[in-house]
């Protein structure tokens, strides 16, 4: 782990977007309806675009000549700093939507705080990203409510998804020294907004937050679940098989 907190923070933000974008992109051509197929593809493209900015900044801060592509395709799982939530499998459509909502509800207030930071490089990326993430949050919120408060089948699937994913949300706002260094006074604000927003939406969706108090963590330190390895293998196979390949 680097001694530069801004570098580590940029890696975390970039890796979150990269891993989630890779997973969401797998729905292209497989979503339940055409509108969702297009919407999910657009969300994935937004996330990959944000990845290029964050990992590009990380490469500059590292000072070793590594590009955003190098950081994306030439690191092993232990080198990734994404939260555990985004690496959880797509599962069915309900699980994908619940994962997206739980991430969006954190991502949006995070970017709002970062847009006001004194670091102009971080603020610029956040300002560019927050408009896209506002759409992501509006969309996932609407779908969570509609499906949660829909048929018995859709309600059951959304509750199952929430039951399985909720234990990964605590890591999002479990701040460490790196978060404190970059976010300063914004850490508590993000946690409060996240908990308030998710509880209101989940209640409106007639879903129930699991009672478990145990939260998984470790992703920000490079300790990941078994789901990340296969995802990275799919994403990195071309560059690993043909180093330096270009279209």
| pTM for the model | 0.95
pLDDT digits (tens, 9 = 90+) for 126-153: 999 999 999 999 999 999 999 999 999 9
Task: With respect to residue 205, please indicate whether it lies within any of the assigned structural domains.
Answer: yes
Task: With respect to residue 126, please indicate whether it lies within any of the assigned structural domains.
Answer: yes
Whether the predicted pLDDT of 228 surpasses 80: yes
Task: With respect to residue 246, please indicate whether it lies within any of the assigned structural domains.
Answer: no
pLDDT at 77: 97
Task: With respect to residue 32, please indicate whether it lies within any of the assigned structural domains.
Answer: yes
Whether the predicted pLDDT of 213 surpasses 80: no
Task: With respect to residue 10, please indicate whether it lies within any of the assigned structural domains.
Answer: yes
Distance CA 103, CA 88 (A): 12
pLDDT digits (tens, 9 = 90+) for 84-120: 999 999 999 999 999 999 999 999 999 999 999 999 9
Task: With respect to residue 121, please indicate whether it lies within any of the assigned structural domains.
Answer: yes
* DSSP-assigned letters across all residues of 142-192: HHHHHHHTS-HHHHHHHHHHHHHHGGGSHHHH---HHHHHHHTTHHHHHHH
CATH number, residue 36: 1.20.1260.10
What domain range is 46 assigned to? 5-241
Task: Report how many domains make up the chain.
Answer: 1
Task: With respect to residue 247, please indicate whether it lies within any of the assigned structural domains.
Answer: no
Distance CA 140, CA 146 (A): 10
Q: Do 107 and 132 meet the contact criterion of CB atoms below 8 Å apart?
A: no
In the chain, what's the furthest Cα-to-Cα distance?
54
Tokens for 243? 């180093």
């Amino acid at each position: 782990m680097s001694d530069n907190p801004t570098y580590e923070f940029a890696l975390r933000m970039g890796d979150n977007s990269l891993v989630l974008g890779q997973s969401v992109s797998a729905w292209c051509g497989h979503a339940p309806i055409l509108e969702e197929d297009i919407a999910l593809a657009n969300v994935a493209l937004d996330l990959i675009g944000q990845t290029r900015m964050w990992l590009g900044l990380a490469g500059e801060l590292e000072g070793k000549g590594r590009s955003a592509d190098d950081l994306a395709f030439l690191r092993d799982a232990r080198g990734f700093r994404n939260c555990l939530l985004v690496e959880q499998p797509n599962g069915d459509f309900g699980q994908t939507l619940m994962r997206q909502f739980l991430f969006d509800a954190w991502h949006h207030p995070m970017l709002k705080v970062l847009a006001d930071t004194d670091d102009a490089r971080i603020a610029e990326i956040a300002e560019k990203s927050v408009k896209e993430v506002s759409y992501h949050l509006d969309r996932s919120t609407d779908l969570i409510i509609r499906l949660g408060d829909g048929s018995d089948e859709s309600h059951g699937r959304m509750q199952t998804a929430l039951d399985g994913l909720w234990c990964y949300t605590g890591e999002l706002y479990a701040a460490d020294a790196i978060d404190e260094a970059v976010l300063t006074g914004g850490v508590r604000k993000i946690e409060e907004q996240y908990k308030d927003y998710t509880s209101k939406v989940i209640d409106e969706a007639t879903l129930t937050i699991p009672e478990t108090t145990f939260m998984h963590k470790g992703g920000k330190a490079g300790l990941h679940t078994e789901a990340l390895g296969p995802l990275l293998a799919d994403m990195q196979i071309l560059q690993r098989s043909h180093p330096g390949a270009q279209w």
